[in-house]
């Protein structure tokens, strides 16, 4: 799954650790999601999208 986490984070000026703290996951988990090595669950995806004030589908996109 592709995502725009890095861009959205940069817009807010947040580091991976800042985002991780805000959604209550490990910094390594944010890194894994950002680099497409792990897919977040729906609740975590929604939490992340809400944090950026965006709909889920604009943060995470299917690769197809």
Partner 1 sequence: MAYSAKRYRTVMGSIFALAVAGFAAIFWLARNHADPISVGMFRVALAVIIIGLAMLAVSYRDEVQRQTGQKRWFFGSMIGIAAMTPAVVSLQTHKVWLDTAVQFFFHHPATGPLYFSLGVMTPVMFQAASVLVLRLLDKLAQGPQS
Instruction: Please report, as ranges, the residues that interact with partner 1 according to CB under 8 A.
Output: 6, 9, 15-16, 24-29, 31-35, 37-38, 40-41, 44
Considering beta carbons, is residue 6 or 55 the nearer one to partner 1? 6
The beta strand positions in 18-64, using DSSP E, are 60-61
Considering beta carbons, is residue 18 or 57 the nearer one to partner 1? 18
CB of 22 to partner 1, least distance (A): 12
What are the backbone dihedrals phi and psi of residue 4, each rounded to the nearest 5 degrees, phi first?
-110, 25
CB of 52 to partner 1, least distance (A): 16
- For residue 37, the 8-state DSSP code is S
Which helix or strand (DSSP H or E) is residue 3 part of?
strand 2-3
């Amino acid at each position: 799954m592709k995502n725009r986490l890095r861009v959205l984070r940069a817009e807010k000026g947040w580091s991976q650790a800042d985002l991780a703290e805000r959604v209550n996951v490990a910094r390594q988990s944010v890194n894994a999601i950002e680099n497409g090595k792990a897919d977040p669950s729906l609740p975590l995806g929604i939490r992340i999208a809400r944090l950026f004030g965006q709909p889920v589908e604009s943060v995470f996109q299917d690769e197809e």
